[in-house]
Chains A and B, each alone.
Chain A
Amino acid sequence: MKTTSFLLETAVALGVISLFFLFLPEFKLHPYYFWLVTLMMAVRYGVVAGVVSGTCSAILFSTLLYASLDKKALETFWDLKYLLEPALFILMGGLVGQISQEKIYRIFEFKERNNQLQKTLFQIEKERALLEKAKNELEKRIVGELTTVTTLYETAKRLESFKLEDIYAGALQILSDHLEVTQSSLYMLENGLLTLKTTYRAGGAEGEAPSPRPQFTRTDDGERPSATGPGRLTYEEGKAVSKTEGLIGIAFETKKMISIREALTSHEFSTLKGGPLMAGPLVKKDGSVMGILTIEKLSFLRFTPSTMKMFSIILDWLSSSLENALYFQTVKARNIQDEIVGCYTYDYFKQRLREEFLRAKKYALPLSVLVLKLKEVDSVEVSKQLSLLKSIYLILKHQLRDIDLISQYESRYAFGMMLPTVQGEELQKIKTKIVEEIHSYGFKPFQEVEKELEFVISESSFSPKMQSEIELLNMLM
């Protein structure tokens, strides 16, 4: 409450009454005007304003009354009837002011509390806004992390195979999916040459419009992975590139990933022209380079430091997967026996046949090969299948000599038999014995109870005209 407010208002109101009194002859002095001023101030401003305006009203009322009374009446001015009204102004001003003041205080308190609440609310609103922002950030991060985890998982899945072709395709697929690479190639070091293993081109054949999101498929049937949709994987056997020239040469020599942008700072454009945009080495743990991964085409907007960083990570990952797969292949190649069936592996058969062929050729010794192919065995229940294959192997083993070699032939469902010093009639006898022996067992491994196992045996014998063991095998067809 402002002191000046009620004083000014009281002064104005009483001034107006005084002016009316002085300048309007028809204006009659009446206490109602003063009651109005006193009660208004008391109600509005409380006890002090009530008392002050009551006192002012009492003084003015008495003054104006005194001025308006004739001489006779002035003698009775100090009577109680003239003093009661002014006294009531002061008293009622104070009383109404007191009552009003409590309400004013309460309103004031409410206002204070309201203000306080407003402030608190504002603070809460501010905190809520901050929390909302934090929540959004957190959600973004969670989504980001989920995407990262998904990407990592997908990448790991594509590179977890022990089949080299799967890994080659997986690596190029990752480049296409995550870096929007529209053409990439993978070279492996073979016999001192960087030999092209796989190329990916978005949009299929060269010249077609590239698509940034090609789809790939993987095959688990032993065939090579393929790409469907707009993307196409090609296998260009034997095509080799120089390991000393261009961007590939730099990457091979420095064992570091390099982009054409970096290379141009130290190399002539003419030496890099027509080559890839980026090249990175596939490095073994011992530091030797086993291959090169190149990006020939990618979206212009993706040619950024973050893409290069990602390419570098993919290179590391791919190197590790390829090294493991190569090690696995080496170990597998060293394993000369099928652990379950017991016979030798096809690789070992080919290796031994090469040696025996050379011996036969050098010393003009007889050498024959028999291949037994079982029919429809892939439709036999797996447990029975293994039992059947081992039984056949044992039957063959019992029919042949210790110097003969029995192995898988191309697939698990065929057996190759290498028979040194055997040919002609003797070979026919062995063949007949094998056929009779297998028939004597009457194997019926199929779902159809009465269906017997069927098989074919093909044969070929060494001839001095033959130049390699391949010819011997070709005779089997």
Chain B
Amino acid sequence: MVKNKILVVDDEEDVTFLLSSLLEFHDFSVTTRNNPAGVMEELEKNSYTLIVTDYMMPGLDGLKLCQEIRRSLKTKDLHIMMLTAKGLTHDEHQKLLELNVYIVKKPYQPNELVTKIKEMTKQ
């Protein structure tokens, strides 16, 4: 069985490690990035099924990243899961929904997150 590839982006190493090992235990192939710079290059270079990313990271605007993903021919159909601790404004929330982004509020239940990821990637 070909494993679904997931890119996990978060500036906190502990979070990326926990999330990646959790997903690996559920048979996903996971790549992590703690530096948001170069995420687009990574997505265009390698083929992913899903990106799980934090909304607020230094040097990265979550909304802007989602817009870039949808603009790129290679990544326009990529599933996006946005983790956010911050309360989003109505406008931000709307824009993200328009971009077909699944929003998860922190703190999240890991098993529920995995269930949703499985649903999104049809694994």
Contact = CB atoms under 8 A, between A and B. Distances in A.
Q: Is the interface of B mostly helix, strand, loop or mixed?
A: helix
A334 B21 CA distance: 30
Contacts of A398: 14
Interface stretch (B2-10, B49-57, B77-85, B108-116): B108-116
Contact of A395 (B18, B26, B111): B18
A391 B109 contact: no
Contacts of B43: none
Nearest to A438: B110
Contacts of B110: 440-442
Contacts of B102: none
A120 interface: no
Interface stretch (A105-113, A164-172, A382-390, A411-419): A382-390
Given A394-B14, A397-B14, A398-B14, A442 B114 contact: yes
Interface in A363-415: 384, 387-388, 390-391, 394-395, 397-398
Contacts of A384: 24-25
A440 B109 contact: yes
Interface string B83-123: 00000000000000000000000000111001000000000
B26 to A, nearest CB: 8
A345 to B, nearest CB: 20
Interface residues of A, number: 15
B22 to A, nearest CB: 6
Contacts of B26: 444
Contacts of A445: 25
A390 B17 CA distance: 9
Interface string B1-41: 00000000000001001100110111000000000000000
Contacts of B111: 440-442
Nearest to B114: A442
B30 to A, nearest CB: 11
A69 to B, nearest CB: 141
B14 to A, nearest CB: 5
A455 interface: no
A162 interface: no
Contacts of A441: 18, 22, 110-111
A394 B17 contact: yes
A402 to B, nearest CB: 13
B47 to A, nearest CB: 24
A444 B18 contact: no
Interface in B44-70: none
A359 to B, nearest CB: 29
Nearest to B111: A442
B110 to A, nearest CB: 4
Contacts of A397: 14
A415 to B, nearest CB: 15
A350 to B, nearest CB: 26
A397 B25 CA distance: 20
A391 B114 contact: no
20 contacts: A384-B24, A384-B25, A387-B25, A388-B21, A390-B17, A390-B21, A391-B18, A391-B21, A391-B22, A394-B14, A395-B18, A397-B14, A440-B110, A440-B111, A441-B22, A441-B110, A441-B111, A442-B110, A443-B22, A444-B26
Question: Which 3 interchain pairs have the tightest Cβ spacing?
Answer: A442-B111, A387-B21, A441-B110
Interface of B: 14, 17-18, 21-22, 24-26, 109-111, 114
